[in-house]
Amino acid sequence: MKKLVSDKLRKACVVGSGPNGLAAAIVLAQAGLHVEVFEAQPTPGGAARTMELTLPGFHHDFGSAVYPLGAGSPFFSSLPLEKYGLEWIHSPAPLAHPLDDGTAVVLERDLDAAAASLGVDGKAWTRLVKPFVEHWSEFAPEVLHPLPAIPRHPWLMARFGLSALLSAQTIAARFRSERTRALFAGLAAHSFLRLDETMSGAFGMLMAIPAHAVGWPIPRGGAQSLTDALCSYLATLGGHVHTSSPIDSLAALSGYDVILCDVTPRQLLAIGGERLSGEYRRQLQGFRYGPGVFKVDYALQSPIPWKAPECARAATVHIGGSFEEIAASEAAMQSGKTADRPFVLLAQPSLFDSSRAPAGKHTAWAYCHIPNASTVNMLENLEAQIERFAPGFRDTILARRVFSPAALETLDANLVGGDVGGGALDLRQFVFRPTRRHYATSADDIFLCSASTPPGGGVHGMCGYHAARIALARLQ
Ligand SMILES: Cc1cc2nc3c(=O)[nH]c(=O)nc-3n(C[C@H](O)[C@H](O)[C@H](O)COP(=O)(O)OP(=O)(O)OC[C@H]3O[C@@H](n4cnc5c(N)ncnc54)[C@H](O)[C@@H]3O)c2cc1C
């Protein structure tokens, strides 16, 4: 990055040290600014932190756990994070999806192997993802970029555009086997959209493509290793993270040339509303949050006793059965209800990373989608779903920690009502996120850099990267 042309040292601060806040801080520090990060919590990382949430010696990822877009992030990939302790671990397969017949669909990382294992749908799967898998290094910067933009690779993006607006249901209709349809439903359900909704298919593709291009790795030691590597690298650039330093008002931050806020619109209104124009405040008030999650972390006596042994090949397991069942679960959540048989996303990192639990013991991380800020207790339903495909699971539990949406929000204020993606990601909020201005606000020196800006949720740091570049351009 070019040093900022300036006759005096410019100062920047970042509110919040999630992956986007740290990415923004690094871009600013690389440009030669003096950067300080203020973090409300006692440890940096936001939803990329690892803690002993159950018993001593059991290390759980409080938020994110599996990083297709972290490993595939154009910005993170440009940083020497391995030098600062980051090590990606790939389970033999990225993903398993158990079914009621006691088998599981396994998504293999190698595309040819995946096509072979998907049998009758192998060719259709390959047609859907191959151009983007083969051109990931051109595709990722385009798709992790704000819209509208003039694509640098028009044919590739035009091809993606052909599917981008389709629902998961429409794309899944290309598959002949119920097994492949179920697999695609689980991928698309990461979007929190109904599976018959526009763009839900694109999200399914955006989960499938990196599975082949870069894998779905976990960091050795957990999410904290990624955060710690980002903080260590930032420190080499002169940046500093102040923890246990909540910012209640931007007025407290004087003397900075730019302020980047790794917060969502509601928080920006609370801490800096008086610095913003009435029109911009109204736009932020119209920003919509997405559904919430109900999450459970487990300390386990032994590995999860899957009926389908192939589930033990993947760090991530999608639990929800058929396409129709997953679609019903997501439709219930979108209409303000909860499903009796919810779609559950589960990670079992200790199978592949022994540092997560005492010798011979294990950890698991699982959540299901519920309406925003719901107070419903989904523990029984969530565990019944795991038991369905792993009878005896409950007998392996040594301890559990349950997170309602409110409990998640107390450990990271950005998780408003349990929304893990920084705001609903429908077509409108995909293009205008959180407003037409994207990262810029109505105040010249204040920028948003959280997952409430493009390209949205996930640990990739690209919101912070783009926000910081816009802020630098403004300074220059
Ligand atoms: C349960 C869960 C599971 C997830 N699973 C995955 C996954 O497997 N893979 C994936 O890629 N993504 C996953 N995500 C999403 C991903 O973690 C987020 O999209 C990502 O962390 C967003 O980064 P961010 O920097 O925008 O915000 P955050 O990570 O939320 O960080 C925001 C930070 O700002 C701080 N802050 C807020 N307000 C203030 C203030 N006023 N003063 C000071 N500090 C403040 C917060 O304390 C927090 O540290 C998951 C999220 C959750 C919660």
The band of 472, judged by pLDDT with boundaries at 50, 70 and 90, is very high
161 or 412: whose pLDDT is higher? Answer: 412
Would you place residue 148 in the very low, low, confident or very high pLDDT band (cuts 50, 70, 90)? Answer: low
The secondary structure of 188-200 as a DSSP string is HGGG-S-TTSTTH
Neighbour tally for 360: CB within 10 Å = 10
Ligand 1 centre distance from Cα of residue 175 (Å): 35
Angle, to 10 degrees, between the axis of helix 323-334 and the axis of helix 178-188?
A: 30
- Tell me: the pLDDT tens digits for 150-174? 778 888 888 888 888 899 999 999 9
Structure tokens at 166: 């389709």
Task: Report CA-CA distances (Å) from 84 to 34, 80, 87, 195.
Answer: 21, 7, 9, 40
Which element (helix H / strand E) includes 17? none
Residue to substitute in 414, 462, 463 for testing ligand 1 pocket (most ligand atoms within 8 angstroms of CB): 414
pLDDT at 5: 45
Ligand 1 center to residue 194 CA distance, Å? Answer: 23
- Best residue among 228, 449, 459, 466 to mutate for probing ligand 1's pocket (most ligand atoms within 8 Å of CB) is 459
Q: Is the CB of 458 under 6 A from ligand 1?
A: yes
Atom of ligand 1 at shortest range from CA of 245: 43
DSSP readout, 458-471?
A: SS--HHHHHHHHHH
Query: How far apart are the C-alpha atoms of 260 and 273, rounded to whole Å?
Result: 15
Say yes or no to pLDDT of 451 above 90. yes
Q: Report the range of poorest mean pLDDT among 50-54, 173-177, 254-258, 427-431.
A: 427-431
CA torsion 200→453→451→278, rounded to 10°?
Answer: -120
Other CB atoms within 10 A of residue 256 CB = 19
What CA–CA distance (Å, rounded) separates 199 from 193? 8
- Helix axes of 178-188 and 200-213: crossing angle, nearest 10 degrees: 100
pLDDT tens column, 229-242? 999 999 999 999 99
State mean pLDDT over 372-387. 98
Is there an atom of ligand 1 within 6 Å of 18 CB? yes
CA of 233 to the centre of ligand 1 (A): 19
Atom of ligand 1 minimally distant from the CA of 463:
26
Is 207 near ligand 1, meaning CB less than 6 Å away? no
Question: pLDDT tier at 213 (50, 70, 90 boundaries)?
Answer: very high
Q: Is the pLDDT of residue 30 over 70?
A: yes
Pocket test for ligand 1, best of 14, 231, 420 (most atoms within 8 A of CB): 420
Burial class (CB in 10 A: 0-12, 13-18, 19+), 359: exposed
Locus of tokens 């910005």: 75
Q: What percent of the chain has pLDDT over 90?
A: 91
- Rounded CA separation 134/377 (Å): 43
More confident residue, 18 or 199: 18
Quote the CA–CA distance of 96 and 316 in Å, as a whole number. Answer: 7
Mean pLDDT of the chain, nearest integer: 95
Helices 223-236 and 19-30 sit at what angle, rounded to 10 degrees? 20
Residue 18 C-alpha to ligand 1 middle, in angstroms? 5
pLDDT at 163: 84
For the Cβ of 226 lying below 6 angstroms from any atom of ligand 1, the answer is no
Atom of ligand 1 nearest to the CA of 19: 25
pTM, full prediction: 0.96
User: Using the 8-state DSSP alphabet, how is residue 449 labeled?
Assistant: -
Question: Which pair of tokens denotes residue 402?
Answer: 């349950």
Report the run of H or E that residue 209 belongs to, with start and end.
Answer: helix 200-213
Residue whose tokens read 């949406």: 405
From the CA of 20, give the closest atom in ligand 1.
25
